[in-house]
Structure 1
Amino acid sequence: MWHYRLTTILLIISIIHSIRAKRKLKEQEIIQRILKDYDWRVRPRGMNATWPDTGGPVLVTVNIYLRSISKIDDVNMEYSAQFTFREEWTDQRLAYERYEESGDTEVPPFVVLATSENADQSQQIWMPDTFFQNEKEARRHLIDKPNVLIRIHKNGQILYSVRLSLVLSCPMSLEFYPLDRQNCLIDLASYAYTTQDIKYEWKEKKPIQQKDGLRQSLPSFELQDVVTDYCTSLTNTGI
């Protein structure tokens, strides 16, 4: 009699879960993507949901870092100032956090947009058309490279920072000279847009920063105080 023994072979299958590393998008790839079909001539939508068409005015937050005040000229009634001028606003068209929604892609918190010495050639994104109303002469610093920073955050927030030297008009009252006290302005506004398009606001914390030693740098004057205010006005082109 033949005996058959049935041998059961158990196959143990081990399942190995492989963890795939996230793909990191490079700055060059991100910039190429967000600037494709981007029109810098059109201002971004505002963040106000009650304005269905345009989203309301673009909120531009302003901050100034005063580096020096010099050459207070009581004959020509002007003074010179050097400062870093910063603006922040949001342009949802440039937000790139959507690229990591799939879960397998990682993006940096911000990318830096390089600029050219020629301001006309460096215009790649929309920026506020800010100008200084009491400016007589102005220049941007270009040594060794243009002292300009454009930083695009992944949520679409833009930081624009530029180093400027300006000669500014300052009407003076000199009847108490040399014991006079003068109020000199740095007066900025949008050149073409109205308050329906752009709304300027001073940065909530430290809107004006001062370099150490600034108050002691003036030979004939003492810097007593620096304050901020608003100068919205009505012109023929709007408010």
Structure 2
Amino acid sequence: MTRKNHRFLVLGLVVTFICFPSETEGENIAKTFLNHDVHAFVLKEIGKVPPAPENGSAIIVDCELNIDSFDSINEANMDFTVGIFLHLYWHDERYIQWIMKSSSHKVSFDHKSMEKLWLPDIYFPNEKEARLHSVFVPNKMLSANLGGNVSYTARVSLKLNCPMQLKNYPFDRQTCSIEMESFSLSEKSLKLRWMATGEHRPVVKNEDVELPQFTITNVNIRNESRTRRDRSGHSCLIADIILERRIKYYIVQMYIPSMFVVFLSWMSFWLNVGAVPGRISLGVLTVLTMVTQSSGVNASLPRVSYTKAIDVWMSTCLLFVFAALIEFAVANVLSRRDLNRGFRLKDIPILPRISTKKKKTKSAEVVIGENGEMKLNPATDPTLSRSMNRTPGHIQAMYLDVASRFLFPFLFAMFNVFYWTHYL
């Protein structure tokens, strides 16, 4: 066969393939045009008009929630951030006649077509911020099958209000809710309900969801009817997420350090009564440390008018530390009580034996009162310094320190028993 004949043969095959496509390809082309017509008819004939169920009953919208992420819980602002997949299902017989004309049993619509179709006007009453994900396209889809069942799915991030009761903080359990409600249609026109089929739960949590400070113990669902400004009831769905706070972090970061500060303040009872600088420094340091710890604990919490469990602990620890400082002040006063008692020159037998040359004393060694009463400084008089430990006041101060060594730990242990028994 010549080269010219080869060219004619190839040209004939190309023309045949273009002008007379295969049966499968022809069917695909027909399906494409047919589906395009169905989309056009649906957008034109249905549009934004809500479905009209038989007998004038309300539109039933079944709901499902998939909790994809639980980002944060803010006690100061009393809110939480959650990412969800929202699934809505309802029945619209108007889709049946148009889908029957298509080549498939299901028709899907892109996000641009969805803007021209009716969707349930769902909103979140306790929402502070909401965002529909749009990378790379808006994360939402709408589809309808041959039976007239319509499904809508959207991926949404929400920051929701969560009123918290912090009386038992940090041993508290909180309930944060996801609320959904129809905005414009009353429950006579649109009714929301949770979709539950067999063992399938309408609210499902992603197994990878993990919170650093809380544990999700359960998710409870309920339905409500709420009256709005138009004085008509609106159908509302609520998913209550039960959160239990993890206590290990607070034990390590709050309770153990404050407990050690209290123990440190008790070291003052083992120091000598005369070690004034050391005992004062230890007492002031422990008091300031407890005040700083208490301020740090409440920095991340709202300013509530009631007392929290952590406030009871911090206040009691501060009370014990301050009491240790007061104990030293009392012990010091007792130890010095007998040293400053006045005496007269005639009461001191050693003075007459002192020669006239030695009667001159420094002003810091002898103090003469208005009534002629003289007092000697114990720090400069060796006689009084040696006898100081034998005064009744010093002995009483020692007894006070010894009693405090046992009394303070006993009272603190009793407080711990009552505290942990009450809050745990």
Residue pairs, 1:1-150, within 5 angstroms: 24=31, 26-40=34-48, 42-46=49-53, 49=54, 51=55, 55-96=56-97, 99=100, 107-116=103-112, 122-150=114-142
What root-mean-square deviation, in Å, do the aligned CA atoms of Structure 1 and Structure 2 show?
A: 2.1
Question: TM-score, structure 2 length as denominator?
Answer: 0.45
Task: Give deviations 1:135-181, integer Å, cap 9, x for gaps.
Answer: 00000000011111111212221110000000000000001111110
Cα displacement (A) at 1:97: 6.1
Instruction: Give me the whole-angstrom Cα distance separating, in 1, the residues matched to 2:99 and 2:157.
Output: 39
Matched, 1:212 2:220: no
- Contact 1:110/1:152 (<8 A) preserved: yes
Instruction: Give me the whole-angstrom Cα distance separating, in 2, the residues matched to 1:126 and 1:98.
Output: 17
Structure 1 unaligned blocks of 5 or more: 1-21, 101-105
Instruction: Give me the whole-angstrom Cα distance separating, in 2, the residues matched to 1:99 and 1:183.
Output: 47
The equivalent residue for 2:335 is none
Cα displacement (A) at 1:122: 4.3
- Contact 2:99/2:145 (<8 A) preserved: no
**192 and 98 in structure 1: CA distance in 2 versus 1, 3 angstrom threshold:** closer
Structure 2 unaligned blocks of 5 or more: 1-26, 234-424
Q: Which amino acid aligns with 2:212?
A: P
Q: Which amino acid aligns with 2:109?
A: L
- Contact 2:72/2:80 (<8 A) preserved: yes
Of residues 227-236 and 72-81 in structure 1, the stretch that sits farther from structure 2 once superposed is 227-236
Instruction: Give me the whole-angstrom Cα distance separating, in 2, the residues matched to 1:98 and 1:188.
Output: 30
Higher strand share: 1
Q: Which amino acid aligns with 1:112?
A: S
The number of aligned residues is 201
The structure with higher relative contact order (CA 8 Å, sep 6+) is 1
Matched, 1:175 2:182: no
Residue pairs, 1:148-163, within 5 angstroms: 148-163=140-155
- Contact 2:99/2:105 (<8 A) preserved: no
Task: Give deviations 1:182-201, integer Å, cap 9, x for gaps.
Answer: 00000110011101110111
- Answer with 1 or 2: which has the greater Rg: 2
Identical-pair percentage:
26
Higher helix share: 2
